[in-house]
Amino acid sequence: MTKKRRNNGRNKKNRGIVRRVSCIFSGKLVPKDKAIVRYVVRNIIESSALRDIQESCAFEFYTLPKLYFKNIYSIEAAIHNRVIRVRSKKDRRIRGPNKMKLIKKK
């Protein structure tokens, strides 16, 4: 049988059993090292209401706090919702956080 990925699609070197986490779209339990994790930072108030609140605020330079979300996806849900894309055999070797930028430059 041919081997598609050098890490077998997981990040589990010298760990043994890895706990499972729940996908936010499908609810599927996915191994933590196989799951796709994306962090989302949002303002507490949407941009349309932000200006009104800043004008009515007593403080001049008050920065509103942000909401931080850690989204965990299964592979199937991440591909279906275009969080990640399917890559060619050659492009799968490109690793790191900016891999889509490197692929687009070619």
What are the chain's domains? 20-105 (3.30.1740.20)
**Average pLDDT rounded to a whole number, residues 21-31:** 96
Strand segments, DSSP code E, in 7-65 are 20-22, 29-31, 36-43
| Residue 28 scores a pLDDT above 80 | yes
73, with CB counted inside 10 A (0-12, 13-18, 19+), is buried
pLDDT digits over 32-91, tens only?
Answer: 999 999 999 998 888 888 878 877 878 777 788 899 999 999 999 999 999 998 888 888
**Is a pLDDT exceeding 70 seen at residue 24?**
yes
Q: How far apart are CA 21 and CA 90, in angstroms?
A: 30
